[in-house]
Amino acid sequence: DTGVSQNPRHKITKRGQNVTFRCDPISEHNRLYWYRQTLGQGPEFLTYFQNEAQLEKSRLLSDRFSAERPKGSFSTLEIQRTEQGDSAMYLCASSFTGGNTGELFFGEGSRLTVL
């Protein structure tokens, strides 16, 4: 297993367009997280899944954002009608609750630029 994989790595889009990011977690990990990181800031929690269930969403996640994790494997994060304020790095992370170490394993992120 090569770790958490995110695609695409970079996305440039025009305001108003929809974008979708994909995350493939480490295969045995049952939790999957989405974070958003803007320049000069630490990652901010957006949402997380345990297996296929989306258990929590941040109030940062407006109605234009939707995330899915069908079958408890990969996850997608879709942003509809993008706005310039959506420009950020979107980080995916996964973890295994069985070990209870709390460690999250991060992907390299998907950078979104909205023109």
Beta bridge partners of 35: 45, 91
Q: Which is nearer to other proteins, 42 or 70 (CB)?
A: 42
Q: Cβ neighbours of residue 11 under 8 Å, at least 6 residues apart? A: 19, 21, 110, 111, 112, 113
Q: Which is nearer to other proteins, 91 or 114 (CB)?
A: 91
- Rounded to a whole number of angstroms, the minimum distance from the CB of residue 9 to other proteins is 9
Interacting residues with other proteins (CB under 8 A): 3-4, 31, 33, 40-45, 47-48, 50, 55-58, 91, 93, 95, 97, 100-104, 106-109
> Contact, 53 vs 64, CB < 8 A?
no
- Rounded to a whole number of angstroms, the minimum distance from the CB of residue 85 to other proteins is 19
